[in-house]
Structure 1
């Protein structure tokens, strides 16, 4: 069976979190390739490489909210300025430890955000992502 999600981009400033989430995603049979970056700026660089055909376009981005230099909200502003041919059809899920109801409300208002889930990722959460978004 072919993977439902060809490429996932994990954006989180914490190396351990990226490592853990990468392991969970690669263990799921319906996910193929996983790329990790540790900042919003690095994610924008990655997406610019997609436009230049030097990186694989992600079907799904898991985005941390609280990061230094460029947080998840700031990334979303810059994401919205990218070439729509690149950003079209990319699902963005905020993945956070935040229990702040303002973050959940803000994510619901942002047109680029498809969902908000709490860390850590698990195989069950990935099943829910597939069911709800793919």
Structure 2
């Protein structure tokens, strides 16, 4: 699958910077859009849909964020995904290796492709983009 557009949903600006660096250093030409919470990312998705544009190919989603967290984002995404013009791969990238979160990810197995724990490394980026 060719990945052209990515949504990075994380309230940590340093995480945004690291993802950007890793994309460039691994010669990944996908265009990232950065959002600081699930609410902003949902608005970004709905905006693309309303313009008839394609959704992102990939969403890198944090769990613990203000306003709308990753779980709340996934609840909303589950509702609107039927209206999307293509499948969107979601990878959770969280600092939580708590078994409750990992088990909760099972509830969203239709939406989440894989659950990863931070830090994001070049190896992890390569794994996601293969």
Distance 2:67 2:29 in 1: 30
Deviation of residue 56 (structure 1)? 5.3
1:63 is aligned to 61
TM-score norm. by structure 1 comes to: 0.85
Is the Cα–Cα contact under 8 Å of residues 21 and 120 in structure 1 kept in the other structure?
no
Deviation of residue 54 (structure 1)? 7.4
Q: Determine if the alignment matches structure 1 residue 120 to structure 2 residue 112.
A: no
Question: 4+ residue runs of structure 1 moved beyond 6 angstroms?
Answer: none
Aligned length: 129
Is the Cα–Cα contact under 8 Å of residues 54 and 85 in structure 2 kept in the other structure?
no
Paired residues for 1:1-134 under 5 Å: 4-53=2-51, 57-86=55-84, 88-110=86-108, 111-131=110-130
Distance 1:101 1:87 in 2: 34
* Cα-Cα RMSD: 2.0
Alpha-carbon spacing, 1:113–1:9, altered in 2? closer, same or farther (3 Å): same
TM-score norm. by structure 2 comes to: 0.88
The runs of 5 or more residues in structure 2 that have no matched partner are none
Is the Cα–Cα contact under 8 Å of residues 98 and 118 in structure 1 kept in the other structure?
yes
Greater Cα offset, 10-19 or 80-89: 80-89
Distance 1:26 1:56 in 2: 23
